[in-house]
Amino acid sequence: MSAGSHVVRLFLALWPCAAVRNQLIKLAQQLENDCSGRRIRPENLHLTLVFIGETEHRNIQTICQAATTIHHAPFNLTLDKAGFWKKAEVAVAGTNQCPAALTAFVQDLRRVLSALKIRCDATHSFTPHVTLLRNVRQCKLSDPIAAIDWPVTHWSLVQSRQTPTGSVYQSLADWALEPRE
């Protein structure tokens, strides 16, 4: 990155509709009984598709232009398991079966970013999850969870700002999932 360039912290994500968010909030409340840690603010609940991290501001426009060329059909995601990731100190909602459509979509996003020479975290395998609690030191997950059915219809480019009171996420643009005609 050139010196003095305007840098932003970005990621691509799925943002839940109100119905899904409410179920995630309920699950986070339930997990709070089993784990230490603090709940993610409801407005921050999301599922990261691709983490881009610090990148030049002009890449926002580049990504927005490229996004219009990405075509995928909507799909359903079922969040049906809770997890405790000890190293990251988080409790998450995850899935026993990542839909093939989601895997293909993420692969496509990584491919497009790579073609644009925009660096992103493509080294880790994609494990879909919604972080529900942070700073979790101990956690004893007791019951199986009530499955959350998430009809995935949109995806977003999100800017993350670190503030003294925590991360603030702002959606810069979002797109409907639509199959190629």
Interface ranges with ligand 2AM (CB under 6 A): 11, 48, 51, 90, 121, 131, 160
16 neighbors 150 (Cβ within 8 angstroms): yes
Rounded Cα distance, 67 and 50, in Å: 13
Nearer to ligand 2AM, 93 or 112 (CB): 93
Give the residue with the Cβ less far from ligand 2AM, 45 or 112.
45
112 or 136, CB closer to ligand 2AM? Answer: 136
User: Cβ of residue 181: shortest distance to ligand 2AM, in angstroms?
Assistant: 32
Residue whose C-alpha is closest to residue 78's, from 28, 39, 23, 32: 23
Residue that has been written with the tokens 């926002």 in this structure: 60
Q: In the complex, what is the shortest distance from the CB of residue 131 to ligand 2AM, in angstroms, rounded to a whole number?
A: 3
Q: Give the shortest CB-64-to-ligand 2AM separation in angstroms.
A: 19
Q: Which is nearer to ligand 2AM, 112 or 132 (CB)?
A: 132
Listed residue (21, 39, 123, 142) closest to 81, CA to CA: 142
CB of 63 to ligand 2AM, least distance (A): 15
